[in-house]
Amino acid sequence: MDPSSIANLVVDLSIRYSFQVLAALAILAAGFVCARIVGRFVERSLRTTSLEKHLRQLHRRAPGAADRWDTGKTRRGCWELSARF
């Protein structure tokens, strides 16, 4: 391929898909903003509970991972916790 055909291909692809790429980036940015808002809401609602600060942060940052940890309400053996992972 010569440089002029590569340049033509890049221009053609950028014209054809530029709006789709911009829309995807806008959706991604909106998702990050929404996740941050929901994370702050969850952290504020967890402040009223008796969870430690680090466990609250874990709940905010990784909702699925935080459910795996023992919060001290029940005593479990190591084998039961490792089975949940």
Tens digits of residue pLDDT in 36-54: 898 888 878 877 777 777 7
- For residues 46 and 58, is the Cβ–Cβ distance under 8 A? no
Distance CA 85, CA 56 (A): 20
Give the tokens for residue 71.
């919060």
Q: What is the pTM of this model?
A: 0.53
- For residues 60 and 39, is the Cβ–Cβ distance under 8 A? yes
Quick check: 79 pLDDT over 50?
no
What does the domain layout of the chain look like in residue ranges?
Answer: 3-84
